[in-house]
Amino acid sequence: MSAGGPVSPVHVTGEVLASKRIGAFWHLTLVAPGVGERFRPGTFLAVSVGSPDEGRTRLARRALWIHQVRPLGGYAATVQVVVEPVGPGTRWLAGLERGDRVEVTGPLGRPFALPKEPVSTVLVGEGYAAAPLFSLAERLRERDCPVTLVLGAPDEARLLNALEARRTARAVTVVTRDGSVGARGEIADVLDEVLRRAGADVVYAAGPTPVLHAVALAAEAHGAWSQTALEQPLTCATGLCHGCPVPVVGEDGVARTARACADGPVLRGDRVRWDDLAGARS
């Protein structure tokens, strides 16, 4: 595996090029010069809540996975993010319209590590957090790695891009909690079967902490590597505040504390001390 070093971020005033509601999510396309150009799957961006001219009332940044980077409207590398409105910041983002400005920092964090050999891969994502998996799948296919996708969600409205998934992956498993599409249940229920059938060598996952923990355990049981993209509450998202501790075990076996934003968000699943991580139990 080629380990993902940190990418070099930029901080820019971006502009909304398009906003479109699909199911429960808002898909925002942003012009944020420099962010898309540096993107690697698994990195994220941070936005400030509130228009750049309005001053500072909400100081914490809001983290969003970079979903896709593509040329659009004369811009070489627009950045697409998927927003689920759950609180004041994400609701503000969902209310943005074409032409609105937003402060963007990115890409941030360490990306998914890519295999050097054409090994079998399984990509697991729940809800909006499946966003980084589609560009990851493209890179893996370029390396001749077979890709199996597992997409989960509470319901169909929060299932990301299931149609596109079928174009991207060799096999797709869909699980929803209410059974509105795919199998009824949790991602954790299907992992063993999928990993076995795919003969997985590497499992990539993004989603709530319990899903990541389940992936790390299942991967270990199958003798596969896991790359888990953590979502922890972030404040600065840039590595400055030390507010996002993740208990890990270093290469040397010594227990340490990593920063979710700067040392992550992608960490090896077998290096995270899941039982000591806040929010690891559902």
Partner 1 sequence: MTVLAGLRLASPVVVAAGCGGTGRELAAYGSLDALGAFTTRTITLDARRGGPVPRLLETPSGLLHATGLPNPGVDGFLATELPWLLQQRARVVVSVAARSLGELAELARRLGTAPGVSAIEVNVSPPDTGPEPELMSAREPFQVGAAVAAVERELPRGVPVLAKLRPDAVRVVEAARAAVEAGAQALVVGQALPASMPDGRAAGLSGPAVGPLALRCLVEVLEAVDVPVVAGGGVATVADVRARLALGAVAVQVGAALLHDPTTAARLVAALDPDTTSEETPDR
Ligand X SMILES: Cc1cc2nc3c(=O)[nH]c(=O)nc-3n(C[C@H](O)[C@H](O)[C@H](O)COP(=O)(O)OP(=O)(O)OC[C@H]3O[C@@H](n4cnc5c(N)ncnc54)[C@H](O)[C@@H]3O)c2cc1C
Binding positions for partner 1, rule: CB under 8 A: 8-9, 11, 48, 52-53, 55-61, 103, 105, 232-233, 235-236, 238-245, 257, 262, 278
Among 76, 240, 255, 278, binds ligand FES (CB under 6 A): 240
CB nearer ligand X, residue 5 or residue 199: 5
Among 81, 174, 216, 272, binds ligand X (CB under 6 A): 81
Q: Which helix (H) or strand (E) holds 265?
A: none
Give the binding range for ligand FES (CB under 6 A) out of 18-26, 78-86, 129-137, 253-261. Answer: 253-261
Task: Name the minimum Å distance from CB 125 to partner 1.
Answer: 24
CB nearer ligand X, residue 90 or residue 227: 90
CA distance 160 to 97: 21
Helix pair angle (209-221, 187-198), 10° resolution: 30
112 in Cβ contact with 266 (< 8 Å): yes
Residue 6, classified by CB atoms within 10 Å of its CB into exposed (0-12), middle (13-18) or buried (19+), is middle
Query: Judged by CB under 6 A, does residue 201 bind ligand X?
Result: no
257 binding partner (options ligand FES, partner 1, ligand X, none; Cβ < 5 to 8 Å by kind): partner 1
Among 236, 266, 267, 272, binds ligand FES (CB under 6 A): 236
Distance spanning both ends of the chain, measured CA to CA: 31
231 binding partner (options ligand X, ligand FES, partner 1, none; Cβ < 5 to 8 Å by kind): ligand X
CB nearer partner 1, residue 58 or residue 143: 58
Task: Name the minimum Å distance from CB 17 to ligand X.
Answer: 17
CB nearer ligand X, residue 203 or residue 267: 267
> Site residues for ligand X, window 51-70 (CB under 6 A)?
60, 62-65
CA distances from 193 to 116, 165, 199, 225 (A): 25, 19, 10, 16
Task: Name the minimum Å distance from CB 271 to partner 1.
Answer: 17
SS3 23: coil
Before 265, cis peptide (omega within 30)? Answer: yes
Query: Judged by CB under 6 A, does residue 237 bind ligand FES?
Result: yes
Q: Which residues pair with 226 in a beta bridge?
A: 203
> Site residues for ligand X, window 111-170 (CB under 6 A)?
128, 131
CA distance 147 to 144: 9
Nearest 5 degrees, angle CA 182-CA 68-CA 26? 65
CA distance 183 to 91: 30
CB nearer partner 1, residue 62 or residue 222: 62
261 in Cβ contact with 234 (< 8 Å): yes
CB nearer ligand FES, residue 259 or residue 268: 259
Binding residues for ligand X, per CB under 6 A? 44, 60, 62-65, 81-84, 86-90, 128, 131, 231-235, 265
